[in-house]
């Protein structure tokens, strides 16, 4: 088997993932696109590990680490999305750009504080 076939498939997967991250407005779809990109990296790691014939199987071991990190990322990302949905009732990324509270009073600047003694 040539190394070109898995590399092309991985490049296509990664391209679809990048498009999903840049074009989607839903936070869940962005997380899914990040997972696509990580799976493309995993495919490259395993393919090049088999092609190079590494005796220690470093690419496959690194793939396991990437899978663990991806699982943690999904768990944390979904928890954040659920909390944002509870507070804002939306998971659209464009609606979440302003995370500051608009109703809060701005803090007084030190120059504006009066130093009068009453």
Helix axes 27-52, 4-23, angle to 10 degrees: 160
Rounded to whole angstroms, how far apart are CA atoms 67 and 108?
Answer: 48
Domain residue extents for the chain: 4-93
Taking only the tens place, the pLDDT of each residue in 11-31 is 999 999 999 999 998 999 999
Q: Say what percent of the chain tops pLDDT 70.
A: 81
- Quote the pLDDT of residue 77: 95
Longest dimension (CA), the chain: 87
- Quote the pLDDT of residue 105: 62
What CATH code would you report for 4-93? 1.10.287.3510
Low-confidence ranges of the chain (pLDDT < 50): none
The owner of tokens 């663990």 is: 68
Which pTM value belongs to this model? 0.77
């Amino acid at each position: 088997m040539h190394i070109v076939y898995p590399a092309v498939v991985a490049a296509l997967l990664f391209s679809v993932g990048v498009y999903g991250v840049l074009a989607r407005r839903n936070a869940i779809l962005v997380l899914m696109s990040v997972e696509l990109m990580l799976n493309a990296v995993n495919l490259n790691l395993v393919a090049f590990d088999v092609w190079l014939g590494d005796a220690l199987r470093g690419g496959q071991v690194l793939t396991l680490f990437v899978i663990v990190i991806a699982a943690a990322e999904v768990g944390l990302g979904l928890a954040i999305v659920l909390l944002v949905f509870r507070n804002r009732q939306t998971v659209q990324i464009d609606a979440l750009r302003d995370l500051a509270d608009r109703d809060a009073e701005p803090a007084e600047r030190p120059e504006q504080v009066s130093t009068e003694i009453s």
